[in-house]
Amino acid sequence: MLGLFMVLPVLMLYGSDYRGASPALLGLALGIYGLTQAVFQIPLGLLSDIFGRKPVIATGLLIFAIGSVVAASAETVEGLILGRALQGSGAIASAIMAMVADLTSEQNRTKAMAAIGASIGLSFSVAMFLGPAVAGFAGLSGVFGLSAVLALFGLVVLVFLPTPPAHSSHRDSGAIPALIISCLRDGQLLRLNWGIFCLHFVLMAAFVVVPNTLEAQLGIARSAHWKVYLFIMLTAFVLMLPLVLIAERKRRIKTVFLFAIAILCASLAVLSTVELTKWGWLAVLLLFFTAFNLLEANLPSLVSKEASAGAKGTAMGVYSTSQFLGAFAGGIAGGGLMQHYGQEQVFMAGAVLTLCWLLVAASMRGPRYLSSVCVAVSDGNANMDVLAVPGVEEALFATEEKLLYLKVDKRTFDEQALKALLGASEITESPETARK
């Protein structure tokens, strides 16, 4: 993910050097990885069930490395687009999640999943200043070259990992085909999938405009862009922390969620209509990234809360596909609008789309404050009435895994009663519960 993200703040700056480059084609190059990620993410996860995790992950890393080399050596914008498409084709996130499920115990699995989620968020923040820093002395080809090195390093790490044993599919770590339709019919999940589509649409569209604006209009040398992004990302992180705490501890998730969408919409509207000074423009950009980071952190948590027991892996698979489709659409739309109408219209389109998201999100019911837990059980315990245990709201027994997936209200959940009923010694909590 670091290799994919590093390109975002620099491609529009350095992409004009490629033969045949135009804002529309560079926007396509920026977002094309989202299309190939969306196409291959779930299928590669399912193929890893058939051929094994390590072969699929190794293949994905090799494809990503080849795509990085193709992009690094490209002289035309078509070669750049091809390289970015190949990068996205190495869509191994779902296979990695499944491998983590294979290699960890029930007690440690959720911590490992949470660590992976945190590393993806961290990779975005690091990429925002690492990409410009690398491009400052090695150009865009240097950024792609570093991406190839990172992929090869990932292969070395993979060699030293143990080969997973014969496994069965884990419902909360990968998509289950039979559950995809039910997730697509869930109104709450559809609202959240629409939200992540919109969020990454406006992110990608913004990166069509922001890098050139920093250089051409604000007079910030491209070699110094990494300092701007470093300051903005660190400050945005500090600003979002109190809001995250209010959302979770005060149970104001929907209120904070709608507030962040409104800030995102307002920042895009201001950038599209108001003549700003240099510092005013940077201040609005800071608000944009604060809202973006807050929404990026809250959306997966909301999906986990809304997904039915045992369907979290499938819900997250559909959610990720929506995210990458948003990145693809945002790159294409942003590039086309920039070429034919100008940067104000790019921001205005983002503001209008975000306003539509705000209206859709306002109709969303407040999230249920339920936590996901699972417990290993025997076939003989499968038919026990666990819904009679205080605090248990949903239950699903996965026969092939011999796991009971539950949604519980932690305020009233009687863990000891559940253990006594099932004769279980350990109950595993979800990543969200572990963080709390």
* Mean predicted confidence (pLDDT) in 326-345: 94
- Local confidence band at 364 (pLDDT 50, 70, 90 cut-offs): confident
Q: Is the confidence at residue 423, as pLDDT, over 70?
A: no
* Mean predicted confidence (pLDDT) in 166-173: 57
Provide the pLDDT for residue 436: 38
Q: Under 8 Å CB-to-CB from 160, ≥6 apart: which residues?
A: none
More confident residue, 381 or 392: 392
* Mean predicted confidence (pLDDT) in 34-39: 93
88-92, 201-205, 365-369, 405-409: the lowest-pLDDT one = 365-369
The average confidence (pLDDT) of the chain is: 85
pTM of the full structure: 0.84
- DSSP calls for 346-409: HHHHHHHHHHHHHHHHHTSPPPP--EEEEEE--GGGTTS-GGGSTTEEEEEEETTTTEEEEEE-
Q: Is the confidence at residue 381, as pLDDT, over 60?
A: no
Cα–Cα distances in angstroms (integers) from residue 326 to residues 33, 73, 162, 198, in the given order = 11, 28, 35, 6
Q: Is the confidence at residue 265, as pLDDT, over 50?
A: yes
CB–CB of 427/372 below 8 Å? no
Written as six digits, the tokens of 98 are 């499944």
pLDDT > 90 in the chain, percent: 52
Provide the pLDDT for residue 426: 58
State the Cα–Cα distance between residues 372 and 319, nearest whole angstrom: 18
More confident residue, 165 or 258: 258
Which domains, from first to last, does the chain contain? 1-174 (1.20.1250.20), 176-367 (1.20.1250.20), 371-435 (3.30.70.100)
101-115, 177-191, 249-263: the lowest-pLDDT one = 101-115
* DSSP designation for 19: B
- Local confidence band at 398 (pLDDT 50, 70, 90 cut-offs): low
* Mean predicted confidence (pLDDT) in 256-268: 95
pLDDT > 70 in the chain, percent: 88
Q: Is the confidence at residue 243, as pLDDT, over 50?
A: yes
- Local confidence band at 432 (pLDDT 50, 70, 90 cut-offs): very low
Provide the pLDDT for residue 431: 46
More confident residue, 165 or 85: 85
Q: What is the CB neighbour count within 10 angstroms for residue 420?
A: 11
- Any idea which residue has 């350990």 for tokens? 426
Nearest to 195 by CA among 337, 297, 311, 332: 297
CB–CB of 332/31 below 8 Å? yes
2-11, 173-182, 312-321: the lowest-pLDDT one = 173-182
Provide the pLDDT for residue 103: 82
- Local confidence band at 213 (pLDDT 50, 70, 90 cut-offs): very high
What's the angle, vertex CA 164, arms to CA 159 and CA 167, rounded to 5? 155
* Mean predicted confidence (pLDDT) in 25-35: 95
* Mean predicted confidence (pLDDT) in 106-119: 73
* Mean predicted confidence (pLDDT) in 152-157: 94
More confident residue, 389 or 74: 74
